[in-house]
């Protein structure tokens, strides 16, 4: 998801100041990686320039005047286009982990060590996500389920690759 698309969706709900945009975005989409204010205002500036939002008012504050942003009709149409278009189901055909396994085989290093280290990293991540899921609200549970299912698929691939490592090694060296 792009930050710009999320901002448009948030503004489709109600006009907001930049600070309110950041708080809403962080709360709904980026609990682990909050946005920097520079990113917020750069995105708002780009949306304004592209005619997808407008300044709906300026209010004096303790510092600079605070602009309230609102979505335009073009912005509403953009949100709808974004929601209607399915996300690309990433095929992972140029996966960094696969490249590491093949590179280890090519260079005579241990592909098993690469796979074991990755399995441990996945297990740590899965334990942390499970803890977060158990103590989180519904949105935390859903995003954690999504991440856990992807990690489970990766774990299945790791096991399959270990089972086929001898054949892969022979093919790579040929």
Q: Which of 25, 46, 50 is nearest to 35 (CA)?
A: 25
Residue 55, beta-bridge partner list:
69
Please report the pLDDT score of residue 93 as a whole number.
59
Please report the pLDDT score of residue 49 as a whole number.
97
Per-residue model confidence as pLDDT tens for the chain (174 residues): 589 999 999 999 999 999 999 999 998 888 778 899 999 999 999 999 999 999 999 888 777 778 999 999 999 999 999 998 877 776 665 578 888 998 998 888 899 999 999 999 999 999 999 999 999 889 889 999 999 999 999 999 999 999 999 998 998 888
Please report the pLDDT score of residue 27 as a whole number.
85
* DSSP-derived 3-state class of residue 87: coil
Please report the pLDDT score of residue 142 as a whole number.
94
Q: What is the model's pTM?
A: 0.69
* DSSP-derived 3-state class of residue 55: strand
Asked if residues 106 and 168 have their Cβ atoms less than 8 Å apart, the reply is: no
Please report the pLDDT score of residue 63 as a whole number.
74
């Amino acid at each position: 998801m792009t930050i710009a698309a999320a901002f448009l969706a948030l503004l489709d709900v109600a006009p907001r100041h930049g600070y309110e945009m950041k708080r809403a975005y962080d709360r709904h989409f980026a609990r682990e990686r909050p946005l920097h204010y520079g990113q917020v205002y750069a995105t708002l500036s780009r949306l304004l320039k592209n005619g997808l939002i407008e300044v709906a008012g300026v209010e004096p504050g303790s510092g600079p005047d605070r602009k309230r942003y609102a979505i335009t009709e073009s912005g509403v149409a953009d949100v709808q286009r974004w929601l209607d278009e399915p996300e690309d189901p990433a095929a992972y055909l140029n996966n960094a982990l696969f490249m590491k396994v093949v590179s280890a085989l090519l260079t005579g290093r241990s592909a098993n060590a690469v796979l074991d280290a990755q399995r441990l990293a996945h297990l740590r991540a899965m334990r942390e996500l499970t803890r977060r899921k158990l103590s989180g609200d519904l949105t935390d549970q859903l995003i954690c389920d999504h991440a856990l299912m992807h990690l489970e698929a990766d774990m299945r691939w790791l096991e399959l690759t270990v089972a086929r490592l001898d054949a892969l090694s022979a093919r790579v060296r040929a």
